[in-house]
Amino acid sequence: MLATLKAALRGPRRHARTAVLAALAAVFASGGAPAVAADFPTKPVRIVVPNPPGGASDVLARLVAQHLSQAWGQPVLVENRAGANGNIGAALVAKSDPDGLNLLLMDASSLASSPALYPNLNYSPLKDLAPVSIVAYSPHILVVRKDLPVNTLPELAAYAKQHPNSLSFGQTPGSITHLAGVLLGQQMGFSWMPVGYKGGSQVLTDLAGGQIDAALNSYLATYPLVKNGSVKMLAVASAERFTPIPQTPTVAEAVPDFVTGSWQGLFAPAGTPAPVVDKIHADVARVLALPEVHQRLADLGSEAVDKTPAQFSTWMQEQADYWGKVVTDNNIQLM
């Protein structure tokens, strides 16, 4: 194998990097892979969050990064690259070297819906990224400005019908909360006046300030505003009453089978050697099992989800099929 690497390095310059990467891939496929994976990482690691600071992905990335840095003895840095429903940051990671040093943390369902929403993407979310781990799940909650004269989901629907096309809904175009909002209005017989934002944290800022009327957003990022009285919560989009807020009705109690949430996933570039992916997955699982991290997730209204990289990959395809149908059935197009 050493001879293969030396030969690759002697090749023409424009082919050398490709040949070296191919030779290294062969090393990982050989018996040397476990030793290399065991030493990972030997350099700083970057976690790209394709959303502005303060949102669910950002909060979780910084929590995980802190503990991974301690476990790995290497800096784990969080970098925010917002825009295009997460595709700017996702493409950055997808095109990075497949060495595990550049990772992506974002809402996995939003990533899975991107092929249907962005037919001309310069990368494939399902082919150019390797699912590593679902970090946490948090249901979406439906919230409105604190002085909106409604207190339940049925009251909201009645108000929207009495004031057609005037109820503003904050959304990140192309996000799952956008698609879920379209479905919710459709199934309850009214239409929102959509207001677009780059990220959920900006939606919440304007909702708390009274600039918009309503939003669907992750419990993790939104509930602190409910607790301090900045916004009013009407319903939670979990399958059953959510343990931290058992008094809050589910959306499904008014709209059967309506369930949505934020599945925060960690991804590496496709082609990252399986032993490295498995090591990152295992180390993240150990972080999530730490009592202080487990408690922090619970405090945030979130929970760890145990899926292997292979299971996560299957789940991503299922999400792509489901949300792709929503996009097609409702002719949702992004400008």
Q: What are the pLDDT digits (tens) for 129-151?
A: 999 999 998 899 999 999 999 99
DSSP notation for 16-28: HHHHHHHHHHHHH
Q: Which of 110, 111, 114, 92 is nearest to 102 (CA)?
A: 92
pTM of the full predicted structure?
A: 0.76
- Do the domains at 2-136+268-329 and 139-261 have one common CATH topology? yes
Token digits of residue 22: 């191919």
Q: How far apart are CA 273 and CA 130, in angstroms?
A: 10
Domain 2-136+268-329 homologous superfamily, CATH? Bordetella uptake gene, domain 1 (3.40.190.150)
Output the average pLDDT for the chain.
88
* % residues pLDDT > 90 (the chain): 64
CB 103 within 8 Å of CB 46: yes
Structure confidence at residue 312 (pLDDT): 96
Domain ranges of the chain: 2-136+268-329, 139-261
Q: How far apart are CA 25 and CA 13, in angstroms?
A: 19
Instruction: Dump pLDDT digits (tens) for 16-73.
Output: 444 444 444 444 444 444 556 778 999 999 999 998 888 778 989 999 999 999 999 9
CATH number of 139-261: 3.40.190.10
